[in-house]
Amino acid sequence: MFVWSYGKTIFTSPATPSNEFCLSKADKEQYEKEERPESQQEILRRAAKDLPIYTTTASRAIRYCDRCQLIKPDRCHHCSACDVCVLKMDHHCPWVNNCVGFSNYKFFLLFLMYSLLYCLFVAATVLQYFIKFWTLGSVNLLISFSLSPQNELPDTHAKFHVLFLFFVAAMFFISILSLFSYHCWLVGKNRSTIETFRAPTFRNGPDKNGFSLGCSKNLREVFGDEKKYWLLPIFTSLGDGCNFPTRLVIMDPEQLAVSSQNEPAKSSVANQSFPTRPLSESQNRLLSSDCQWVETGPEEENVKSGS
């Protein structure tokens, strides 16, 4: 299982955006001719109006990759080592010489888990010999030295082999345990390593928990619905890597003020506020079991305009 997971992590190609995120030939030529950033952003906004994109740059601009010449989907980043845009990029790992992203993130987690178990198995099986060499080795060494006619030390190469094997297994176990624990925390929060250091920006501002749907749904998004496949390095992640369900659509302050004023007159329950509809609810079954939000009239239009 360790070798299988390691091989899948190495040889699985990073998933790249589909052709719908590439600019058309006319838009690309017009984008290259324009010198003003405002005009370029207007071209990108026109091209991205029908795309499932809900995040922007910190300056509220459309995320565009000049190298790959495409509009970046949510959670997509360009890897300078692979020279390609990677869907849901987590990081570029030198240990596997590959990008860890949407296509192989499950394999990477299983690789860490089976590496952890492998190091634990090696350290546990060598521990008894490690103890014997330290407790009995010194006594046997003195006896052999006193009985040796030429006062030569006996061959103790095996002792250093066992010491080396135990310490290497223990050190790798400690280091991998910290890395595996960190990525388990990321899965529970539905974040990538990049999003931990730089939160994605939605229309209400940066939000590290923008893609979090709850621990159970976050786990299913990575490992899939079938629990029998969770421990196997088989791709079972949900979604296509380009479109992700988000937590909530936060309306603009002006829209929020208008909605809060109109809500008491339109709501059937007094003093009860209803959250806005989650994004991509109709496109992702992770949100299919959520409760139905009560929205009527202008409030529904605000949600549509917000999405």
pLDDT tens, 19-37?
999 998 999 999 999 889 9
Cβ–Cβ under 8 Å, residues 222 and 105: yes
Confidence class of residue 140 from pLDDT cuts 50, 70 and 90? low
- % residues pLDDT > 90 (the chain): 61
Annotated catalytic residues are 93
pLDDT exceeds 70 at position 82: yes
Q: What is the 3-state secondary structure (H, E, C) of the chain?
A: CHHHHHHHHHHCCCCCCCHHHECCHHHHHHHHHCCCHHHHHHHHHHHCCCCCCCCECCCCCCCEECCCCEECCCCCEEECCCCEEECCCCEEECCCCEEECCCCHHHHHHHHHHHHHHHHHHHHHHHHHHHHHHHCHHHHHHHHHHHCCCCCCCCCHHHHHHHHHHHHHHHHHHHHHHHHHHHHHHHHHCCCHHHHHCCCEECCEECCCCCCCCHHHHHHHHHCCCHHHCCCCCCCCCCCCCCCCCCCCCCCHHHHHHHHHHHHHHCCCCCCCCCCCCCCCCCCHHHCCCCCCCCCCHHHHHHHHHC
pLDDT score at 83:
93
Inform me whether the pLDDT recorded for 307 exceeds 80. no
Question: How do residues 39-53 score in pLDDT, each as one tens digit?
Answer: 999 999 999 988 999
pTM attached to this predicted model? 0.75
Residue 4 CA to its chain's centroid (Å): 21
Q: What is the mean pLDDT of residues 221-227?
A: 95
Mean pLDDT computed over 81-85? 94
pLDDT at 295 over 90: no
pLDDT surpasses 80 at 17: yes
Is the pLDDT confidence value at 127 over 80?
yes
Asked whether the predicted pLDDT for residue 273 surpasses 60, the reply is no
Winning range, highest mean pLDDT, from 80-94, 137-151, 241-255: 80-94
The rounded distance, in Å, linking the Cα atoms of 216 and 256 is: 30
